[in-house]
Chains A and B, each alone.
Chain A
Amino acid sequence: MSEVKRGYVRPLDIKNGRIDLSHGSGGRAMAQLIEELFAAAFDNEFLRQGNDGALLPVPTGGRMVMAVDAHVVSPLFFPGGDIGCLSVHGTINDVAVMGAKPLWLSASFILEEGFPLADLKRIVDSMAAAAKEAGVPIVTGDTKVVEQGKGDGVFITTTGVGIVPEGVNLSGDLAQPGDRILISGTLGDHGMAIMAERESLGFSAPIQSDTAALHGLIETLLTSGAKVRVLRDPTRGGLATTLNEIARQSKVGMMLQEKALPVNPEVAAACEFLGLDPLYVANEGKLVVIVAAEDEEKALAAMRAHPLGQRAVAVGSVHEDPHHFVQMTTAFGGKRIVDWLTGEQLPRIC
């Protein structure tokens, strides 16, 4: 019999292994999972400290932003992304729309007993790649395991911190009458990509999720000098929800031009088929910008120069309205309001 090397530790069976309760119990199995899977993928100087909390340098000047987001998307893997990169992009975006430079992320995983390690590795590698590309390391994390049936494979919660430099002031209550409303690209890609994957609806379309980290685009926009009042990323509930939120916060009304709304033809067709409205479908890589009217062209030019903003376009204006309605001139010529979403948008027969 050949000698077994001293100090040999049987590695995780990524190919066939599954999460079991021992991976969450705090013992050796969990330590191995963290070391061989998470730490190996996310590796950075802070993680290497190996403590319960990450020791981080305190930046001087400016104000700090902190944001948190939980990700429960199903299916876990979809065209254009997965729950892993989504969780990195989503929180980076929440920090960046405040005008902050995102600095660090934390990631907490709730894993379901029986979840395949191969899938977990795919997700973790995707997160690592997204974090690296964005230049925002994952500096601390946590893992828990729940019994089979009590979780949808995996839930990921990420928290992000960033610093807003002096002189930058963005907030949902700063929109003013006369401002222009811009959007960085096409609407509804993410939501419809997810719908297409849900086999119970049985349609296939070449739609990719638009999940992306927007801090680079935002930086380009802010350094252009355009007087930006509000930045938001229109995720759940779509553009309609985001605009209604801003209208309420800023106590203004809005008027959109339906003809200006950018929607990919496959997304429009899929929405039409299911009776959904692209205005309410989720996006994960788009930016809503409310900017002073005189800086509209400057802002658009800045965004269009960036890969994520090539289809940036103006879609409407802000005006006085004591009722804070978001209205729209339809492509047909008539008017309607774009109201708050009622419940969840469900495919309909009627």
Chain B
Amino acid sequence: MRKLFTIVSLLVVLSFVLTACGGGAAPTQAPAATQPPAATQPPAATEAPAATEPPAAGEKVTLTIESWRNDDLSIWTDKIIPAFEAKYPNIHVVFAPSAPAEYNGVLNTKLQGGTAGDLITCRPFDASLELFKQGYLTSLNDLPGIENFGDVAKSAWITDDNKDVFCVPMASVIHGFFYNKDIFDKYGLQEPTTREEFMNVLKTLKDKGETPLVMGTADQWESATMGFQNIGPNYWKGEEGRQALIKGTAKFTDEPYVKTWQDLADWAPYLPQGYEAEKYPDSQTLFTLGKGAIYPTGSWEISQFEKDSGFNLGIFKPYVANAGDQCYISDHTDIAMGMNAKTPHAEEAKTFLSWVASDEFAALYANALPGFFPLSNAKVTLDDPLANEFLSWRQECKSTIRNSYQILSRGEPNLENELWRVSAAVMNGSMTPEQAGQEVQTGLEKWYKPQ
């Protein structure tokens, strides 16, 4: 009896091992499997004919959009898609987003498994370039409407030899600081423009018992994207510094970079208590509840904040080191849309992409999503005052993009991931700004020849 028990229990354990390992190791068991399979298939009515054949006229085709913008679900389903469907009644479009942090992994898995949607929202630069190289995205050189975009707009979604464009640029976002006007007015504070003014504002607010700066480091990317890449361009002179990194004439151990991290370290005493475990949604909620004065972030927050905050919102641009310095802003080409090369509805997908390239879409998108600024040459009037203010910075300051996005994140260790990690560690006080520079530089030198 006992012996039997032992044998049976051993079998149980063994099967556990196999089950567990099989589950972890099998490439077929991708986490994407838990998501509803993307509707690459036509709806039930058209299912009878082979899915690869173009459907006969009059039949309705469903296109699915893959995206990481789950915040925009209602805007797509209520505003953008109905406008398109009104024009093209026999195409039905479904917006199917996944969580931002998981999007790349989920999308790659879906593409490899052949279950991805017909239209793919493109991350800028290498992630999408790699998809194009692997044949998952099609070239859109001859797409009607692609001529509406300038070279800068297309730069994030073009091959290195500038020959093939594979995504239709949709929008860029601009980094900056939001602030609570009511709190500023209460203490008679002005929008800070220099580093000194900014630190003084933080100190005053702290002395008055407010939470001066809202930001958490738990998700790591906020520290890099909304901290490092937000204020950094003023130190490394925007494009000049970014190109110097690519050429290898500048290093992350140089003064501008260490100074940027030093600023982040100096912010730490003004952050909410327990910011080390504070996540992005915590920060958003804290700020919109009026419990913090300043929130370093970007224009993509406008619509959410305008809806949720019960106070007067203001924005100011990243501070410069000394009064009168040339200012730089991070005006990041962020979103585009491409076509799944294996879609059975290529014609319809192209129709949709042409519409995305049109002036009508630019105006609709920019106004439905204030804070996402169109990249096409279309003249778009924005209704939102905050969005207009963000856009006005393009006149005063020089634009640049995040320095880790073009070319520099092609190797191991991945520069973007490294910047997340060290920026969060600097804010947590577990790494000095000099160490951060040294670690990032060492990582980059390992694989990037010009450095």
Q: Indicate, yes or no, whether A interacts with B.
A: no
Q: Please list the residues of chain B having a beta carbon within 8 angstroms of any beta carbon in chain A.
A: none
- Chain A residues with a Cβ under 8 A of chain B: none
